[in-house]
Copies of this chain bind each other. A is one copy, B any other.
Amino acid sequence: MTADPTSATTGDQDRRAAVLESALTTFARFGYRKTSMEEIARAADISRPGLYFLFASKESLFRAAVTQALEQDIAAIEQILAAPGRPLSRRIVEAFDRWAGRYVGPLTRDVAVLIEDNPTLLGAVVETTPRRFEELVTAAIAADSPPESATRITQTLISTSIGIKHQTDTRAAYLERLEIAVELLLL
């Protein structure tokens, strides 16, 4: 008998996840076109044919990398917003930080641009995930506010977050401005 197939599958998925994570940062640094499969393989410490063993093509790899990052972000945001002890404004700020603040820094600040610039390469995830984020934030706010104004507060906060992302260069600056906006809008 060989090794337990379940753990073997888990090992596969771990490897895939690790490759996708490093691949996304590589894509973020150089953009989709200028990132070669060789560079991705080197960053993941595997051979280039081995990379093709894990992913059928560069395009599907890119899709998987973005999808994984978005799903992990959504999962983390669900956790953050569900934490019962912390005040609402604190949870909202942390949710936005995970959603947008992560992608402000000089290194990975182009992930958002990367996604926006290649809409055809990515499936419906790019459309549905922001909507999911909006739903989560709206639900969290609706616990403390009338539900009708919760959607308006959420939409305004999302716009504000986008604006701040364009105005600031560091994650700290983004957070500072966002905290003010959340404080003003959640009263």
Contacts and interface: CB of A to CB of B under 8 A. Distances in A.
Interface in A105-159: 149, 152-153, 155-156, 158-159
Contact of A153 (B152, B159, B177, B184): B184
Nearest to A164: B159
Nearest to A183: B152
A185 B162 CA distance: 17
Contacts of A180: 152, 155-156
B162 A167 contact: yes
Contact of A166 (B149, B166, B177, B181): B166
Given A156-B181, A162-B163, 7 more contacts: A153-B184, A155-B177, A156-B160, A158-B163, A160-B181, A162-B162, A163-B166
